[in-house]
Structure 1
Amino acid sequence: MSTDDPESTGPSWTAPTAPHAPAAADDTALYATVRVPGSKSITNRAYVLAALSTARTLVREPLDSRDARLMLGALRELGASAEHTADGVRIRPLTSGSGAADVALGNAGTVARFTPALAALGERTVRFDGDPAIRRRPLSPLLGALRELGADVEDGSGEPGAPPFTVRGHGGLPGGEVDLDSSASSQFLSALLLAAPAFDRGVTVRLLGEVPSEPHIAMTLDMLRRFGATPERHGREVHVPPATLTLADYTVEPDLSTAAPFVAAPLVAGGTVRIAGWPRETTQPGDWLRSLVAELGGEATFERGADGSDLLRVTGDGRLAGRHLDLHEVGELTPVVAAMLCFADGPSRISGVAHLRGHETDRLAALATELTALGGDVTETADGLVINPAPLHAGTFHTYDDHRLVMAGAVLGLRVPGVEVENPATVGKTFPGFVDAWHAMLGGA
Structure 2
Amino acid sequence: MNIVEGGIIAPKGFKAGGKFIGLKKARKDLAILVSDAPCSLAAVFTTNKVKAAPVLWNHDIYKNYSTIRGLVVNSGNANSCTGKKGAEDAQTMAQTMAKLMNVNEKEILVASTGVIGIPMPIEKIVKGIRELLPEVDNDILSGVHAAEAIMTTDTMMKTISVKVEIGGKEVHIGGMAKGSGMIHPNMATMLSFITTDVNIDKGLFRDSLKEITQDTYNMITVDGDTSTNDMVMAMANGMAENPKINEKNQDYEVFYEAFLYVNKYLAQSIVKDGEGASKFIEANVTGAKSKDDAKAVVKSILTSNLVKTAMFGEDANWGRVICAAGYSGADFDPDKSTLYFMSGGEKILLTEKGLPVDFDENKAFHILKNNEIQILLELNEGEYSATGWGCDLSYEYVKINGEYRS
TM-score w.r.t. structure 2 length?
0.31
- Higher RCO, 1 vs 2 (CA within 8 Å, ≥6 residues apart): 1
Higher share of residues assigned strand: 2
